[in-house]
Amino acid sequence: MGTQEQNAKFAAVVTPHLEDAYTLARWLTRSRADADDVLQEACIRALGAIEQHTGASPRAWLLAIVRNTAYTWLNGKRAAQLVNIDDLAERDRIQVDRGGEQAEAAVDPESEMIAHAEAKQLEALIAGLPSEFRETLVLRDLQGLGYREIAEITGSPIGTVMSRLARARHRLIAALKESNS
Amino acid sequence: MAPSRPSTERSDLLLHAYLDGELDVSTTVELERTIASDPALANKANNVIALQKVLREKVPREQLPPYLKSRIEAALGKQRARSRPSWMLMAASVVAAIALSSMTTRVLLQAPPTSTPLANELIDGHMRSLAASQPTDVVSSDRHVVKPWFNGKILQSPRVVDLAKDEFPLVGGRIDVVNKVAVPTLVYSRRRHIISLTAVALAHGETVPVSTRPANGFNMVSWSNGDTTYWAISDLNENELNSFAKLFQNAP
């Protein structure tokens, strides 16, 4: 068993993506202290599983480990605040439709308003999203992953990724509009 | 102005995929047409674009704090030490001592790279057994005692032959770990020299002829009979080790 080989592979596969891994851990746990512990645990798991990594998208591979570690961690600490997506669907849809009614094609003060949102407000809104929405939005809009990768990391079909992303964004847009009106 | 059609859930989902560059060409064309004819959808598109931009620009990137980096490195170091059995550490220290004699460098250069890890693990096992008070876990010169001893401890019970009349008496047996797999090792002796003979099951039924090479101050002979590869390691001279290998192979 080549410990050295293992270390070299870890350095090549995991190390370049530690910052991304930390970002995801931070957003999933919503706490720096928890993110520290989750990242450490995820690194230990990644080292143990490094031989099984076959080469396809090291970043997605690592982020999937971080995600699983984070949820295990949260479940151990306190019950993760999971919200049933089906309960949310109706409300989100109403918000989406209301947005449509208020539409004005020519001038677009809404987009102006969104563009002026502050970092603190954005962070609070992201943190307030249910975890399924939050992880999808963070992976796409903060970390720039493709739908296929997100589907792989979260273990969901692409259609689910699409609808979660749409709903997460509409929630943020609706909240920004509301807070500034 | 004509009232805009309420956007369907489908075009709403597609809008996001469109803005993320995830749509195929024909759906892209279709959606661009829809957006052009639907001000409400165009407005949503603008909102989403503004949101993506502000998220990208305003939400700060996470930096990995230096204290966390060193904390993780420490944790990984501990993990690596834990996953290595203590006898391997012991063997490693013996290897380190031998390395001083410049022998190791030469051997590593000579050995074919693919077989080096296996050979090293076998040598580690042999050296560990020499360092221990007993080179065997079961001590017996009777092959009818040694062979059954392996049963229940490992999957494959090795072929055990009696070479006492050829002055290679059986000493006993032990279990070594090669590539995380427990394998049977028989221990024979010649005068005061110990011979470790390890049987490793082969995945592909190839046959390897007897080959000899020096390694870490030991001599190593390996051969294969189709489903098992045998490795004999000893500080015995090459000729005698070769004749041991031939006797073992040709024994009934």
Q: What is the pLDDT of residues A116-130, one digit of tens each?
A: 888 999 999 999 999
Task: Report the pLDDT value the prediction gives residue A125, as an integer from 0 to 100.
Answer: 95
List chain A domain ranges.
3-77, 85-179
Q: pTM for the complete prediction?
A: 0.54
Q: Has residue A48 got a pLDDT over 90? A: no
Residue A154 token pair: 């979260």
The CA distance from A37 to A34, in Å, is 5
Please check whether residue B117 touches A, CB under 8 A.
Answer: yes
Q: Which chain A residues are within 8 Å of B49, Cβ to Cβ? A: 111
Interface test with A, best of B5, B9, B15, B72 (most A CBs within 10 A): B72
Q: How far is CA B151 from CA B19, B147, B159, B229, B234, in A?
A: 65, 7, 12, 19, 26
Please check whether residue A122 touches B, CB under 8 A.
Answer: yes
Intrachain domains A3-77 and A85-179 with the same fold: no
Closest CA to B215 of B131, B145, B112: B112
All CATH 3.30.200.100 domain ranges in chain B, comma separated: 107-250
Smallest CA–CA distance, residue B41 to chain A, in Å, is 7
Highest averaged pLDDT of the listed ranges A74-83, B41-50, B164-173: B41-50
The CA distance from B87 to B200, in Å, is 20
> Cβ neighbours of residue A161 under 8 Å, at least 6 residues apart?
A136, A147, A150, A151, A154
* Top-level class of domain B107-250: alpha beta
Q: What φ, ψ does residue B96 adopt, rounded to 5°?
A: -60, -40
Q: Return the CATH number of the domain spanning residue range A3-77.
A: 1.10.1740.10
For residue B216, is it left (φ>0), alpha (ψ between -120 and 50) or beta? left
Give the pLDDT band of residue A179 (cuts 50, 70, 90). Answer: confident
Residue pair B183/B198 in contact (Cβ under 8 Å)? The answer is yes
Please check whether residue B9 touches A, CB under 8 A.
Answer: yes
* Top-level class of domain A85-179: mainly alpha
The CA distance from B103 to B94, in Å, is 13
Q: Which chain A residues are within 8 Å of B72, Cβ to Cβ? A: 39-40, 43
ipTM for the whole complex: 0.79
The answer to whether A119 contacts B60, with C-beta atoms less than 8 Å apart, is: yes
Please check whether residue B54 touches A, CB under 8 A.
Answer: yes
Which letter, b or e, does each residue of A16-54 get, where b requires 16 or more Cβ atoms within 10 Å of its Cβ? ebbebbbbbbbbbbbeeebbbbbbbbbbbbbbeebeebe
Q: What is the DSSP letter of A17?
A: G
Please check whether residue B55 touches A, CB under 8 A.
Answer: yes
Q: Which chain B residues are within 8 Å of A48, Cβ to Cβ? A: 79, 83
Please check whether residue A39 touches B, CB under 8 A.
Answer: yes
DSSP letter string, B60-78: PPPP--HHHHHHHHHHHHH
